[in-house]
Amino acid sequence: MRPAAWYEKLLAVNPQEKEAWYNLGVIDWAKWHPRLLEVLQESGMKPEDMGPIPNDKLRQDLRSTSLQFVEEGVANLQRALLIDSTYPEAMDYMAILVRERASLDDTPEQYEKDIASANDWAQKAAEAKKARASHPQRVRVGGNVQAANLIRKVIPRYPPDAKQAGIQGTVRFQMILGTDGKVQSLQLVSGDPALVAAARDAVEQWVYKPTLLNGQPVEVVTTVDVNFVLGKPHM
C-alpha cells in the first residue's frame, strides 16, 4: 500500500481527522523536496540561497513536473488547519512549502509575496507553540490506570459494514482529558479505518473522575483502546 493510501482510507471514513490531512501534506512535501534540491544543485544554488531559480528552463520544468505536489500539500495542510486553526505542525509545513514554492516564481513581486506569506505562517506557528507551552498543567497517566477512573462509558456501535466484512481489531487513541474529566481531544494512534469513527463517537462521550495534583484538578494525557471483536465492541 502506498504511504498516502492509509490516510486517504481513514479520511473516507472520517474527514475530520486533522492528523490524516497533515500527514498527507507532509507526504506531498516529501515528493517535491528532493526534486527541488536536484534542480537547485543543477542551477548552482544552495538550499539556503534566496530568490527564484535563475535558469528559466529548469524552473519551468520543475514547475510542470512537481508544482502539483506543492499545491496538493498546501491544500491538505489547509484542510488540517480548518479543523484545528491552532495546529503548529501544520503551520510549520505551510511555511516550508510556501517558501520553497517561491523558488518557482517568475517575478520579484511574486517572490516577495510568497516569502511574506511563508514568514507569516512561521510566525503563527511560533505563537501557537508558545500558547501550547503555556497551557494548563497536564499529567500523563497510563491507559490501564486511567480506565479505573471512568465514570461514564458509552459502548461503541459496531459498524454494520465492518461487521459484515468480518473486520475486527483495536482502535487506539491518545486522549486529553480536561480538568472536569471530560474528553477534550482524541488523536488516532492506530486502528482499522472502518472502525475508527464508531470508536471516536463513543469515546468522545466518556467522562472520568477529575485527576488531582496537589489538591488541584489537572488535565490528563493518556491512551484508550477500544476493541471490536465479532460485532461486540468492548474495552
Same domain, 59 and 99: yes
Same domain, 99 and 11: yes
The 10s digit of each residue's pLDDT in 27-45 is 999 999 999 999 999 988 8
Intervals of the chain under pLDDT 50? 233-235
Helix (H, G, I), strand (E, B) or coil at 158: coil
Domain harbouring 181, CATH code: 3.30.2420.10
Same domain, 176 and 96: no
Distance CA 39, CA 106 (A): 16
Same domain, 157 and 53: no
With beta carbons less than 8 A apart as the criterion, state whether 195 and 167 touch.
yes
Same domain, 84 and 106: yes
pLDDT at 233: 47
Last residue of a domain, one of 83, 109, 133: 133
Same domain, 115 and 154: no
Same domain, 122 and 19: yes
pLDDT at 136: 60
pLDDT at 235: 47
Last residue of a domain, one of 106, 133, 160: 133
Average pLDDT of the residues of the chain = 90
pLDDT at 132: 76
State the Cα angle at 112 between 109 and 117, rounded to 5°.
130
Same domain, 43 and 123: yes
Of all residues in the chain, what percent carry a pLDDT higher than 70? 96
Same domain, 94 and 144: no
Domain that holds residue 115: 3-133
Same domain, 112 and 188: no
166: left (phi > 0), else alpha (psi -120 to 50), else beta? left
Same domain, 163 and 93: no
Last residue of a domain, one of 89, 118, 133: 133
Same domain, 50 and 99: yes
pLDDT at 10: 84
According to DSSP, the β-strands at 138-140 and 216-229 are parallel
Cell 518557482, located at residue:
104
Domain harbouring 69, CATH code: 1.25.40.10
Distance CA 202, CA 180 (A): 18
Distance CA 194, CA 231 (A): 13
- Beta-carbon contacts of 231 under 8 Å, excluding residues fewer than 6 positions away, are 158, 163
Distance CA 52, CA 105 (A): 6
Backbone angles phi and psi of 213, in degrees to 5 = -130, 120
The 10s digit of each residue's pLDDT in 85-96 is 989 999 999 999
Domain count, the chain: 2
